[in-house]
Homo-oligomer: A and B are copies of this chain.
Amino acid sequence: MRTPPATVALRGRLLWFIDDPATAGEAASLRQIEDGIVVVADGIIRACGPADEILARAGDGLAIIDHRPHLVLPGLIDAHIHFPQTRAIAAYGAELLEWLERHVFPEELRYGESAHAEPAARFFLDELLANGTTTAAVFCSVHPQSAEALFAEAARRNLRLVAGKVMMDRNAPAALCDTPERGYEESAALIGRWHGRARLRYAISPRFAITSSPAQLEAAGALARAHPDCPVQTHLAESLAEIRAVRRLFAEAGDYTGVYERFGLLGPKSLLGHCIHMSEREWGALNRAGAVAVFCPTSNLFLGSGLFDLAQARDPARPVRVAVATDIGAGTSYSMLATMGEAYKVCRMRGQALDPLAAFHMMTRGNAMALGLGDRIGALEPGREADIVVLDPRATPAMAHRLERAGGIVDELFTLITLGDERAVRETYVMGVPSKPRDRRPRAA
């Protein structure tokens, strides 16, 4: 584990949220300091305020890293991503179920070998940090080795990470299946080894209702009851063919959400990937449970699964918590910025408008709260862990040119999600330690 330096002070244009601008309005939610300083000691934010005030209090003793004129925000958070699918991105031509069989399962087979999983974990976390993502909720393969490799690498980097091995015991190649008992035991062992160690949390991860037998879902529910502080992550209502298959497999459940309800997998710690094709009853069930729907826009489009309906999810009559995510490898970008640009488009196709402030709230404080980490990360508040990203809204010629027209903060944020990607990430701090990987180009320019 890297040791953070005793005290770091980051100067720049600070921006974070203390509430949701989509419901509380901009004034009550946005905190913005045009020339501000975040003081970090031992990896924790100790103070955050206007530069002149911080400097007057601190005297000359403060070693400042000056990021002006760039934006300094809480690190970005990805609420749903698959560690063993980084080489299954850009897999051609299939909808969800065929894509899993043809492209994903063959790839995930390799993660049973630590010799494969360990370098893959280094690539994976490099890629997240290069994109300004400091926390993610991650699905590993069925093999405990894959989770082991990822947790070990995340611990070395002192990352706050949520992850779990998938549980799956049917409708997949035999070598990718555990059993209800083995899935339970292996998950429980990983919880024992990693949950709460360093900054790591374990997510109980039944893949989805198609690849888990009723007995395995029962076991997953028992595991969740035994470890009530572990999040549960799975997939829900992504494609119509998937929903039809679930209906055949669980004829008695009524609907797809009902399957997870029945096995005790629907609660305030449940992260449900996709939720594209949902009935009113199902939205109501998520609302009552306090569960989280995870919106994965590039994946929606790439697999042609459908368009997430953000307004429907947030219907004030029964609002459902929403997180946002890349969903690599059905998703096509590691960048949460680019992902929110695509979220905007999915909303436009639904006749909705996703405003740039709401988008930035979603990928910082919103996702932190969805992952149950709102007290630890997602805001530049004293006491929070100093996971911080530095963004340059003028990182490329096209972005700089765009911002000649109107350079207000909302324009800058919208330019960052519409045209931005990892090139806009100037630095990524993990507990106050600069952690953006450098010199990763596989070949010279």
Taking beta carbons and an 8 Å cutoff, which residues of A are in contact with B? 86-90, 92-93, 95, 107, 123, 126-127, 130, 298, 301-304, 307, 332-334, 341-342, 344-351, 353, 355-356, 392, 394-398, 400-402, 404-405, 410-411, 414-415, 418-419, 440-443
Contacts and interface: CB of A to CB of B under 8 A. Distances in A.
Contacts of A88: 405
A349 B397 contact: no
B442 A400 contact: yes
Contacts of A87: 401-402, 404-405
A402 B442 contact: no
A424 to B, nearest CB: 11
A398 B351 contact: no
Contacts of A95: 348
Given A107-B405, A351-B304, A401-B123, A441 B396 contact: yes
Contacts of A404: 87
Contact of A397 (B92, B126, B298, B351): B126
A301 B349 contact: yes
Question: Which 9 pairs show the lowest CB-CB distances between chains A and B?
Answer: A304-B348, A90-B418, A301-B345, A87-B405, A400-B442, A93-B353, A397-B440, A90-B415, A304-B349
A356 B92 contact: yes
A332 B401 contact: no
Contacts of A414: 90, 92
A415 B92 CA distance: 9
Contacts of A394: 442-443
Contacts of A350: 304
A95 B402 CA distance: 19
15 contacts: A87-B402, A88-B405, A90-B411, A90-B418, A92-B355, A92-B410, A92-B411, A95-B348, A298-B345, A302-B348, A303-B348, A395-B443, A396-B441, A397-B440, A397-B442
